Amino acid sequence: GAVVSQHPSWVICKSGTSVKIECRSLDFQATTMFWYRQFPKQSLMLMATSNEGSKATYEQGVEKDKFLINHASLTLSTLTVTSAHPEDSSFYICSGTANYGYTFGSGTRLTVV
Amino acid sequence: AQSVTQLGSHVSVSEGALVLLRCNYSSSVPPYLFWYVQYPNQGLQLLLKYTSAATLVKGINGFEAEFKKSETSFHLTKPSAHMSDAAEYFCAVSEGGSQGNLIFGKGTKLSVKP
């Protein structure tokens, strides 16, 4: 079946630094990639939607200059959290779609100290 | 706009008992509905999905869900709970067919007692 590989699975970084999260579709071409954020004991909240080769569409309240999304190819999308702060600590999950429907990555636990 | 309501943030059952997780949706168009399971610090795994075919949908691990348009419900059931079923379960509706953005419910944590 379709697989989305998400890395890293967890990362700890210092305040003010940037962190890049990668999602790769291993055996299919993800025409669309969704990026979600999940706070502890809460549901997934959509941050942005990206289509290959075009700019991402951000949900209301999500800072596009802080959460940089790149979807340069049909198999790779990245989320970069710039100038991270402790309040950015969260669980980030990507989901790629194609003819198979939705396939989720395994998530990235980001802790900013 | 679509929305999803999951009744009960926490459900506890005994091993071997019936599992019933409730989900009601709101949609102005025929919905695509999904149930996902999430284990701690992991991504989401699809249990099953409804895409306007049969109203009773069978999924993995013995789970099934029935789409009831009159009740706008898509409750998840399993006849006999297993310890390994303990996890967080999310109901979701698609905004735009089979590949539109997913709107998630707040989730239901299932605990299974020995």
pLDDT band with cut points at 50, 70 and 90 for residue A100 = low
A49–B101 CB contact, under 8 Å: yes
B99–A46 CB contact, under 8 Å: no
pLDDT band with cut points at 50, 70 and 90 for residue A30 = confident
Q: Is B34 exposed, middle or buried (0-12, 13-18, 19+ CB in 10 A)?
A: buried
H or E stretch covering A106: none
pLDDT band with cut points at 50, 70 and 90 for residue A108 = very high
pLDDT in tens, B9-27: 999 999 999 999 999 999 8
Which residue in chain B has the smallest CA separation from A30? B99
DSSP E strands in chain B: the ranges are 3-5, 10-14, 19-21, 24-26, 32-38, 44-50, 56-58, 64-68, 73-78, 87-94, 102-104, 108-113
pLDDT in tens, chain B (114 residues): 788 999 999 999 999 999 999 999 998 777 899 999 999 878 889 999 998 778 899 999 999 999 999 999 999 999 999 999 999 999 999 876 666 788 899 999 999 999
Provide the shortest C-alpha distance from residue A83 to chain B (in Å).
Answer: 24
Does A20 contact B at CB distance below 8 Å? no
Between B98, B99, B106, which is nearest A43 by CB? Answer: B106
pLDDT in tens, A45-95: 999 999 888 889 999 999 999 999 998 888 999 999 999 999 999 999 999
Q: Are A36 and A49 in contact (CB under 8 A)?
A: no
Provide the shortest C-alpha distance from residue B81 to chain A (in Å).
Answer: 22
Does B49 contact A at CB distance below 8 Å? yes
Closest among B110, B102, B109, B111 to B4, alpha carbons compared: B102
